[in-house]
Amino acid sequence: MSKHAREFYLGIDVGGTKILAALATIDGSIIARKRMPTPRNTKAEHVVAAIADIIAVLLSEHNLAPRNLSAIGLAIPGTVAPNEGKIICTPNMPLSGVVISPLLEKRFKVPVLIGNDVNLGTLGEVWRGAARAASSVVGIFVGTGIGAGVVLNGHLIPGHRNAAGEIGHMVMQPGGPLCGCGNRGCLEALASRTAIERDIRNALKNGRKSVITRLADNDLTVIKSSVIKRALQQEDELVTEIIRKASETLGYACLNVRHLFDPELIILGGGVIEACGDFILPIVQQIVGLHSMPGSSDNDVISMSHLGDDAVVLGAVALAKAHHHPDEHPTPRPAPHHLSCRNNTAYLDRKPVQEPLALLPNGNIAKVNLKRKNATTFLTRKTLLHLCTSQCLTLVVGAATPAHFSLTPKARAAAEKHRISVSILTIEQACQAYHTSPSSVLLLSP
Ligand SMILES: [Zn+2]
């Protein structure tokens, strides 16, 4: 590949057993992949060195230099503080507490963004996979553990501590089996591969027979998803029974998720689903379909991941791209500002709004200059076009007195020409309108 000015991104999925890297273009086409085993039983610096290695090797194999990269996205199996580039906690890896972005940025001179792997997997499916046409999506990934990512109106929901989507620890059976988190009866303790393996081993210990003993060559310390799949294909009674029970629990978890978020799609992915989805999906769909609220009885809300292993690396690319092109979707947005209204006064993050300002769809706040003439406040053409870009064509104005707010004739003509819809409302009405349509621009003129 020649060195040219095109924008490339690297997405890296730092897993417990393997590190997977993908070199991609700005539109998410993967040009090359590289896979390396994750160093085991070792210190953080060796894992960081392995990540640096995979970046360097992938670039050199394709005749690229770090300067050909626009940004790198890292998917971490744990909680992260994205603004500091810091890994907070990785239960299955020695990376807790590592401030990783600055380390890699120093070496490669490229911005390095980090996110949780399951959140990024969901973002990947929204960007390039099964959820391309949807804007509200929950991705649930079933492997050794169970995690989820929540995208609502195109925005990844990070949660207060960047720990939203820990669906694996929703309690589905109070007092049930012990979970790795210390609690009992979590979804993960009932339907993950770890739980399925435990149930198979216990049943065999209690004298049940299964083809899985032979399929796994008598070594049941780790039962791979592919082995479980083969036992299902052979209609093994024990494995079918255990997977059916796990699928039902997963189905009820999906039903809870549906009631909580009302998403357009729930995407199921991860190793267990990749291997046994044909068996699991119909059970989940049936439970979600049977118990839906009136008027939402369709069961095609559940779909399989389309991207498989690429979901997470592409989500990492989407994260890196969002850093470079903050105005495009899908982007994990900053936490939204808290907007409320009392007595026709707007409160932003609980402070009264006393000067004109605008809330932009990307979550930013912009100061706004308005023209005042006699008792009337005017929005000029320049300010209108500054606020409403080609991606956002709806402006909601909340004015202290709507009758005394107007567009200048030039602004009115520009709105018509660019098909920008402008509504002038009371502050109270505008706040309400903004809450139902967060993709619009809200201009407050107190
Ligand atoms: Zn748990």
Per-residue pLDDT of 150-176, as tens digits, reads: 998 878 888 888 778 889 999 999 999
Q: Which of 11-20, 96-105, 181-190, 343-352 is the least confident region?
A: 343-352
Yes or no: say if 362 and 442 are a contact pair by the CB < 8 Å rule.
no
Distance 146 CA to ligand 1 centre (A): 10
Where does the pLDDT of residue 296 fall: very low under 50, low under 70, confident under 90, or very high at 90 and above? low
Cα–Cα dist 197/215, whole Å: 14
Predicted pLDDT of residue 1: 42
- The superfamily in CATH containing domain 130-305 is ATPase, nucleotide binding domain (3.30.420.40)
pLDDT category of residue 440 using cuts at 50, 70 and 90? confident
What is the distance in A from the centroid of ligand 1 to the CA of 50?
30
Task: Output the CA 185–ligand 1 centroid distance in Å.
Answer: 7
Give the model's pLDDT for residue 218. 87
| Ligand 1 center to 81 CA (angstroms) | 22
Using CA atoms, how far residue 23 sits from 7, 58, 341, in Å, is 11, 8, 47
pLDDT, tens only, 105-132: 999 999 999 999 999 999 999 988 888 8
337 CA distance to ligand 1 middle (Å): 31
Domain extents for the chain? 8-118+312-324, 130-305, 339-445
- Ligand 1 mean position, distance from CA 149 (Å): 17
Least-confidence region, from 21-35, 236-250, 288-302, 423-437: 288-302
Q: How confident is the model at residue 93 (pLDDT cuts 50, 70, 90)?
A: confident
Indicate the length of the chain as a whole number: 446
**191 alpha carbon – ligand 1 mean position (Å):** 11
Matching CATH number, 339-445, of 3.30.565.10, 3.40.50.720, 3.30.1490.190, 3.40.1230.10? 3.40.1230.10
- Please list the residues that pair with 13 across neighbouring strands: 20, 75
Cα 172 to middle of ligand 1, angstroms: 10
For residues 393-407, average pLDDT: 90
Mean pLDDT, range 336-353, rounded to an integer: 82
164 CA to centre of ligand 1 in angstroms: 14
Q: What's residue 283's pLDDT? A: 95
Mean pLDDT computed over 234-263 = 95
Least confident span in 13-17, 80-84, 179-183, 340-344: 340-344
Q: Which long-range contacts (C-beta less than 8 Å, at least 24 apart) are formed by 165-170?
A: 165/116, 165/118, 165/119, 165/122, 165/138, 167/140, 167/253, 167/257, 168/192, 170/253, 170/256
| Contact by Cβ (8 Å): 289, 298 | yes
What pLDDT, on a 0 to 100 scale, did the predictor assign at position 74? 97
Residue 334 has pLDDT above 70, yes or no: no
* 178 Cα to the center of ligand 1, angstroms: 8
> How far is the centre of ligand 1, averaged over its atoms, from the C-alpha of 344 (Å)?
45
Q: Rounded to an integer, what distance in angstroms lies between the CA atom of residue 156 and that of residue 120?
A: 9
Q: How far is the CA of 181 from the centre of ligand 1 (A)?
A: 4
| pLDDT above 70 as % of the chain | 91
Distance CA 245, CA 177 (A): 14
pLDDT at 3: 40
Distance 184 CA to ligand 1 centre (A): 7
% of the chain with per-residue pLDDT over 90: 58
Whether 130-305 shares its CATH topology with 339-445 is answered no
Contact partners, residue 234, CB within 8 Å, separation at least 6:
211
Alpha carbon of 92 to ligand 1 centroid (Å) = 14
**Model confidence band, residue 331 (pLDDT cutoffs 50, 70, 90):** very low
330 pLDDT more than 50: no
pLDDT at 29: 86
Highest CATH level, class, for 8-118+312-324: alpha beta
* Ligand 1 centroid distance, CA of 204 (Å): 25
pLDDT at 40 over 90: no
- Ligand 1 centroid from CA 163, angstroms: 14
Confidence of residue 243 (pLDDT cuts 50, 70, 90): very high
**Average pLDDT of the chain, as a whole number:** 88
Q: Which residues contact 351 (CB under 8 A, 6 or more apart)?
A: none
Give me the mean pLDDT over the 52-57 stretch.
Answer: 96
For ligand 1, the distance from its centroid to the CA atom of residue 222, given in whole angstroms, is 20
